Amino acid sequence: MKPVIQIDGQTVDPHPAADVVETEPGSFSVLIGSSVFEVWASESHIALAGRRFEFSVEDPRAWKHGGAGGGVHGKASILAPMPGKVVRILVAVGDEVKQGQGILVVEAMKMQNEMKAPRDGRVTVIAVAVNASVTAGTLLAVVE
Amino acid sequence: MFEKVLIANRGEIALRIIRTLREMGIRSVAVYSDADRAALHVRKADEAVHIGPSPSHESYLNVGRILQAARCCGAQAIHPGYGFLSENAAFAQACDDAGIVFIGPSAASIGRMGSKTEARRTAQAGGAPIVPGTEEGLTSATEAAAFARDTGFPVMLKAVAGGGGKGMRRVDRAEDLFSAFDSASSEALRAFGDGRIYVEKLIENARHVEIQIFGDRHGNMVYLGERECSVQRRHQKVIEESPSPLLARMPGMRERMGEAAVKAARAAGYYNAGTVEFLASNDGSFYFLEMNTRLQVEHPVTELVTGLDLVRLQLEVAAGGKLPFTQADVALRGAAMECRVYAEDPANNFFPSPGKITRLSEPAGPGVRVDSGIYAGWTVPIDYDPMLSKLIVWAANREQAIERMLRALGEYHIGGIMSNLPLFQIILNDPAFRAGDLHTGYLDQLLAAGIDFAPPVAEEILPVAAAVALASQAGHDRSTSAVAQETSRWLAAGRRSLHR
């Protein structure tokens, strides 16, 4: 069975004339006719032409990417994008918020990052407390 | 000259200093925290001393541990780099008291120019024009509000002990002043251990132009041209260049600013490397902003247009030597530009992106310099500033420097973490940047207008990506076993030869 390749969520057939050589682990030289492409690949991303693409190759053993962050049924979860510490919570459960309004502040790498409401709605969950350490992907709050 | 120098810093600047020390035949001593055992500066130094846990206040800001390390290994001098203890007068004094040379100005000069409010008074006394602002650090937002009422909005809140954009807030409306004051003050307290804030009138559409000065302990002082650092995001410099496109077209402005900078530094009894920052207007007027009493992040730009090694000069002057040239000998040649490469994702609100660097391909070739603190396989720790490296280019003129920078950016690949490399492509292709039409709000405006970090690509790009996806997947299934087999064969051969 032909593997299904997804590039940034879109099914793409590999170039039929691509001459691909792995020059060192994760580094590829590609020739299409005489056109040269320098490409880097990790387990999930490809860097090429100054751009970075997420990819997957359908394979029963391959990592399955789940949808994170939600947006399902008008519910938007705010997840910590990286490890850090919650330094301030700017709203309370039940507050009406506008898209782009600050919900809480997470400090990481000496920088304070305001996590903003992804949409208009009501804050239904605040899942962390001030001073809580969070890891990447930790649920911080939910706006419905 | 010193025989051994300790570097009280980490990352790219520690590497930068180690390189000059090695060229001068001086032994280098690195210091490191728990998080930095495997950092590049530890790998490249002659000696390395552990100074404590990962948080910087327990390691890179720990005066006692650093002095102890210097004494233990017999270092005669300490280079503080930038950030951390570099502008800490108490540290410079403690070095002095311990009989160790602090490579920088005197503790008294640091104290004087390190306090932003006192620096303003000193510069004014030296005859440099200053931006209207409060004379003292403020203890409450109410005092800031009174100043703003008198001079009008917008105003800028700044940390008295500040630097690097920390504890700085632009305030446009009275109702925002109190929350901005609190957040600036708490940020300043965390960054510098001093939460005092002062307020200045905000000069709109001004450029950030700074003068590199250098003095010895025999009363000689020169200025080494300027650097324009108007491309900033949230008051953090992103791209720096020399010459400034403004000064390049304003006859005599460089000399006027240079002389004002030297006067301000002389008023502080300054020696060693320093930078006097100015706000400059397109009409040729300029105002003293602050003085940085250390080697700057962007010093390579000056090195490339002057042909000098500023770290070597710092060491010579710190060892009691005279400046080996006069103002008349200083000639600026060509154009240099620097991009600060950070572990942050410009397409996702510049979120910091620490993690493991899986692949690294650094640019090279004519006129390209990479001052880097990273390597493939290293994990960028979450404990420190997210700066990874600086990409600096030199060319015959500004236009060619831009083309060279774009070429070098195309060669730069950092895999495994996100970096701000895509942002530089956008800035360097922006017509306003290329025209040298800059002001400190330039980048924030460009970003506010919305940047498409995923523009459409040529039609063959996605099929090429798919071909590599397939090959890398196939390689993955193969590679673990192939590499393992190869390794074990070599190991087996090695063992056989040992047993022979």
- Chain A from 5 to 24: CB within 8 A of any B CB: 5, 7, 10, 12-15, 18, 20, 22
Strands B335-342 and B236-242: antiparallel
* Closest approach of B470 to chain A, Cα-based (Å): 7
* Closest approach of A29 to chain B, Cα-based (Å): 9
- Per-residue pLDDT reduced to its tens digit, A57-116: 986 443 333 333 333 346 788 888 777 889 999 999 999 998 888 898 888 777 778 888
Angle at B286 between CA B429 and CA B300, to 5 degrees: 50
How would DSSP label each residue in B77-145? EEE--SSTTTT-HHHHHHHHHTT-EESSS-HHHHHHHHSHHHHHHHHHHTT--B--B-SS-BSSHHHHH
Residues of B in contact with A52 (CB under 8 A): 422
- Spatial contact of B158 and B166, defined as CB atoms under 8 Å apart: no
Q: Please count the other Cβ atoms lying within 10 Å of the Cβ belonging to residue B475.
A: 18
Q: Is B32 helix (H, G, I), strand (E, B) or coil?
A: strand
CA distance B237 to B470: 41
Residue-level pLDDT at A71:
38
* Closest approach of A128 to chain B, Cα-based (Å): 19
- pLDDT tens for chain B, 500 residues: list them: 999 999 999 999 999 999 999 999 999 999 999 999 999 999 999 999 999 999 999 999 999 999 999 999 999 999 999 999 999 999 999 999 999 999 999 999 999 998 888 898 989 888 888 988 887 888 788 888 989 988 889 999 999 887 777 889 999 999 999 999 999 999 888 888 888 999 998 888 899 999 999 999 999 999 999 999 999 998 899 999 999 999 999 999 999 999 999 999 999 999 999 999 999 999 999 999 999 999 999 999 999 999 999 999 999 999 999 999 999 999 999 999 999 999 999 998 999 998 999 999 999 999 999 999 999 999 999 999 999 999 999 999 999 999 999 999 999 999 999 999 999 999 999 999 999 999 999 999 999 999 988 888 899 999 999 999 999 987 665 544 444 444 444 444 444 444 44
Residue B195 DSSP code: -
SS3 sequence of A91-126: CCCCCEECCCCEEEEEEECCEEEEEECCCCEEEEEE
Q: What is the reported pTM?
A: 0.81
Question: Tell me, what's the ipTM?
Answer: 0.75
Nearest CA in chain A to B459: A15
The single residue listed with the structure tokens 């005197």 is: B106
- Per-residue pLDDT reduced to its tens digit, B294-318: 999 999 999 999 999 999 999 999 9
Residue-level pLDDT at B487:
42
Q: Is the peptide bond before B245 cis (omega within 30 degrees of 0)?
A: no
Residues of B in contact with A111 (CB under 8 A): 352, 386
Q: Taking Cα atoms as reference points, which of B231, B163, B206 lies closest to residue B405? A: B231
Q: Taking Cα atoms as reference points, which of B454, B467, B479, B459 lies closest to residue A5? A: B467
Of B359, B386, B470, the CB nearest to A57: B470
Query: In the numeric block, which tokens belong to residue B437?
Result: 């039409």
A101 in contact with B, Cβ within 8 Å? no
Residue-level pLDDT at B320:
98
Catalytic status, residue B500: no
CA distance B37 to B50: 8
Residue-level pLDDT at B193:
82
Q: Taking Cα atoms as reference points, which of A6, A2, A39 lies closest to residue A20? A: A39
- Per-residue pLDDT reduced to its tens digit, A13-33: 999 999 999 999 899 999 999
CA distance B433 to B425: 11
CA distance B94 to B65: 12
The single residue listed with the structure tokens 């996590």 is: A115
Residue-level pLDDT at A70:
37
Residues of A in contact with B466 (CB under 8 A): 5, 7, 12-15, 55
Choosing from B16, B227, B233, B294, which is the catalytic residue?
A: B294
Q: Is A131 helix (H, G, I), strand (E, B) or coil?
A: coil
Residue A49 has pLDDT above 80, yes or no: yes
